[in-house]
Structure 1
Amino acid sequence: MAVTTRIIPGLEGMDHVGMTVANLDEAIAFYSTLLGGKEIFRLGPFDARDFDQVDGKDWSEAHVNVADGRFTLAMLEYANGSRLELFQYDRPTDRPATPPKNNFLGGHHIAFKVKDLDAVLALRNEYALRFMAGPIEINDGPAAGQRIIYVLDPWDNQLELVEYDRK
């Protein structure tokens, strides 16, 4: 792979993170109600069979690298302006039923900033989250002052709750 040191012209920064979910309505409810996102738009369904081919590939394979895809998406926005795009694929159906773990290629987590991690932890039994061990307290180095805990959403997607500058 060729590597360049030239930045993409006009790059303004990261816009959103996308995640595929099994049920779009359930995921929107979860990521809105529990985590404060607001649905700002929903698009689709987009079906590769309804569009012309592009460069010899069906529409979804040409655009999102999924052959014969049919999907709907929704964009959620959070108070700080960050966005989460949720996809539900109705086709193809031959895919893993669980998300990748962090050590798998493509593994990931999404971090949400909280003001008071202790307040979250005090109510941990009220949330539809599975809390991992922790919190992890970082006392020195470039991340000093952070406290984090990892959680799993109802579909086993890994999330991080992070508190900065604890006093």
Structure 2
Amino acid sequence: MGDDLNNDEGQLPRRDLLKSAGVALLAGAAASAGAAAAQTSASAPAPAPAARSGKAVGARLQGVQHFGLTVQNMDRAFEFYTEVLGGNEVMRDGDFRGEKIHNTLLTDQEIVARERGVNPRTIGVPDLKDGGQRLDVRFVQFDNVVIELLQYRDAQQPMGSGDSWAEPRDHMSPAYPRSMHICFYIRDDVDFNTFIRDLEAESARRGMTQVKANRVITVTSEQERQAAPLDANTNRITEGKSNGWSLIYCKGPEGEQLEFVQALGPVKKTFEDAMAARRRMLAAAGG
């Protein structure tokens, strides 16, 4: 495990990496909580489950709880998201097996296997039902969202170490339908180019050779990518509705697709106005 990283110039930000987005989302949550508290203090009865269920589907939500990422190596992924990117462990659990959890997670894929007339294992369905494979999870908290790391392993494989039961996907282009990515919000006062450089360097120091950020100039080899100038680390948008948006795509240690963004100027105000409008809508609807 590596050294702790602080917020000094040239180093990676820690807990406040997502501070800007976190403030907005937490404010929204506070508005909802405040409305609920006001109702309680006025001795209004709590809504019965039937009343709550009568609302529109979207009105029954309170936000995004977490994003899930199935990993090849739990320890490696956990180190990246906690020690490199600065998340905090919420909890870990595991050795999940049995018919109930198997059906909860995998029923749709088993149906697909039957329809195709193939063994479920050939399309990546582990045997949680009889315990041939097990599921372990770890939750990592950032300021405004939780990331859940999941590993499906053979029963004989120790929890948290070694490879997963299934081989990783080869095709990880973000252009594929069903592909997803995790986006991290960089603080306003952080130099984007330096952050990307330091992210790659810290990951490489830990042996995480998959962590590679794209460049905004054309490169045709890994050597050229590494030799690209520092200012090629950031795609800065300076016109249109995305004016003030900076971004880069990067692979994580499991080959997962990551994005890092910074929102300044007009585009930052666009998102802040949208959050304020949503808070007003929720308040008007009674939270």
Instruction: Describe the superposition over 1:16-69 as per-residue Cα deviations: whole angstroms up to 9, x where unpaired.
Output: 100000121221111111111111100111022xxxxxxxxx323311125523
> Superposed, which structure 2 residues align to 1:99-138 within 5 Å?
100-115=172-187, 116=190, 117-123=192-198, 125-128=200-203, 129-134=211-216, 135-138=234-237
Instruction: Give the counterpart of 1:27 among 61, 71, 77.
Output: 77
Report the alpha carbon displacement of residue 155 of structure 1 after superposing the two structures with TM: 2.1
Aligned residues between the structures: 152
Report the alpha carbon displacement of residue 102 of structure 1 after superposing the two structures with TM: 1.4
Q: Which has the higher strand share?
A: 1
Instruction: Give the counterpart of 1:81 among 127, 144, 150.
Output: 144
- Identical amino acids, percent of aligned pairs: 26
Report the alpha carbon displacement of residue 98 of structure 1 after superposing the two structures with TM: 4.1
- 1:53 is matched with none
Instruction: Give the counterpart of 1:36 among 86, 108, 112.
Output: 86
- 2:111 is matched with none
Normalising by structure 1, what TM-score? 0.79
Instruction: Give the counterpart of 1:61 among 99, 102, 116.
Output: 102
Asked if the contact 1:45/1:71 (under 8 Å) is kept, the reply is: yes
SS of match in other structure, 1:155:
coil
Instruction: Give the counterpart of 2:239 among 117, 140, 155.
Output: 140
State the superposition RMSD in angstroms.
2.4
Instruction: Describe the superposition over 1:102-156 as per-residue Cα deviations: whole angstroms up to 9, x where unpaired.
Output: 1223211101111221331353551322111132111223322010011111221
SS of match in other structure, 1:142:
helix
Larger Rg: 2
Using the alignment, how far apart are the partners of 2:127 and 2:64 within structure 1?
28
Which consecutive unaligned segments of at least 5 residues does structure 2 have? 1-55, 107-124, 129-133, 155-163, 204-210, 217-233, 267-287
Normalising by structure 2, what TM-score? 0.48
Instruction: Give the counterpart of 2:165 among 78, 88, 93.
Output: 93
Q: Cα–Cα, structure 1 residues 154 and 93, in superposed 2: closer, same or farther, change >3 Å? A: same
| Farther off after superposition, 89-98 or 66-75 | 89-98
Report the alpha carbon displacement of residue 8 of structure 1 after superposing the two structures with TM: 4.2
Using the alignment, how far apart are the partners of 1:32 and 1:130 within structure 2?
18
Q: Cα–Cα, structure 1 residues 99 and 68, in superposed 2: closer, same or farther, change >3 Å? A: farther
Using the alignment, how far apart are the partners of 1:15 and 1:105 within structure 2?
23
Using the alignment, how far apart are the partners of 1:125 and 1:106 within structure 2?
27
> Superposed, which structure 2 residues align to 1:45-56 within 5 Å?
45-48=95-98
Using the alignment, how far apart are the partners of 2:240 and 2:264 within structure 1?
13
Report the alpha carbon displacement of residue 97 of structure 1 after superposing the two structures with TM: 4.3
Instruction: Establish whether residue 154 from structure 1 lines up as the match of residue 253 from structure 2.
Output: yes
Which consecutive unaligned segments of at least 5 residues does structure 1 have? 1-5, 49-57
